[in-house]
Amino acid sequence: MDGNGRWAQKRGLPRTEGHRAGEEALFDAAQGAVELGIPWLTVYAFSTENWRRPPDEVRFLINVIADNLLTRRRDALHELGVRIRFIGRRDWRVPRWVGRKMDEAAELTRDNTRMTLTVAFNYGGRAELVDAVRRLVEEGVPARKIDDRAIRARLYAPEMPDPDLVIRTSGEFRLSNFLIWEVAYSELVFTDVLWPDFRREHLIEAVREFQRRERRFGDTDARHGGGEPAGSDLGSQ
């Protein structure tokens, strides 16, 4: 959800106003995703690197997430049938009261089936892989048993399907440590729209773009593919 700061600067507003507007955009996009029948939506809300931002901005971001998403929007999302979940590190930097609100939102919405909204908070794709490797070592898994499946089972949300589509806003052409393992075969759509201006129409446009793509998953022809390669098959790609 990139471009909040630039959106605010263009209007002569503090960067934090961009995050506030970004939260509105997220709610609209989430409603749009539900309407489109998209079963999984994952948003990058706060990265393991975002702690480097000025303390006021960090505090504001955490409050926007906690006060809006986890309080005001939580019930609306629940009514829409959205299951809310979080991926990322729960380390000492995540205030305890925020962790509690995350757990409450996840608990309240856990049986909802219309869409899973996964919020990546204090998340980094490399950190996720580091944590998976740590778990393998802690569990004493022998090297010969380590394959794609063993690693996937130790990601933050192992049952979450790999994303079909990744949308990057604000004219940036990077993945910035987002779901590094999971996006191996995702289609990437880049848009110049700054995140606070993003609405469900932009989501629909990105899905249309996705539908025009031919996905081969390493095969020569989409017709042969039959979908994403599973498990250790990836080793021969």
CB 189 within 8 A of CB 167: yes
The residue assigned the tokens 């490399």 is 126
Element (H, E) at 149: helix 148-152
| Residue 65 contacts ligand FPP per CB under 6 A | yes
Tokens of 204: 């629909």
From the CA atom positions of the chain, what is the Rg in Å?
18
Residue from 3, 124, 125, 163 in contact with ligand FPP (CB under 6 A): 3
Beta bridge partners of 82: 115
Residue from 64, 77, 155, 189 in contact with ligand FPP (CB under 6 A): 64
Of the candidates 28, 50, 112, 177, the residue annotated as catalytic is 50
- Ranges within 211-230 binding ligand FPP (CB under 6 A): none
Q: Least distance (Å) from ligand FPP to the CB of residue 229?
A: 32
Stretch of 22-30, 77-85, 147-155, 184-192 lying at the interface with ligand FPP (CB under 6 A): 22-30
Q: Least distance (Å) from ligand FPP to the CB of residue 181?
A: 21
CB 2 within 8 A of CB 166: no
| Residue 19 contacts ligand FPP per CB under 6 A | yes
Picking from 70, 76, 63, the residue whose alpha carbon sits closest to that of residue 28 is 76
Q: Which is nearer to ligand FPP, 112 or 177 (CB)?
A: 177
- Asked if 112 is an active-site residue, the reply is no
Picking from 33, 23, 41, the residue whose alpha carbon sits closest to that of residue 202 is 33
d(CA 172, CA 2): 8
Q: What residues are annotated to the active site?
A: 2, 50
Q: Which residues bind ligand FPP (CB under 6 A)?
A: 1-6, 19, 22-23, 26, 43, 45, 50, 61, 64-65, 68-69, 119, 170, 195
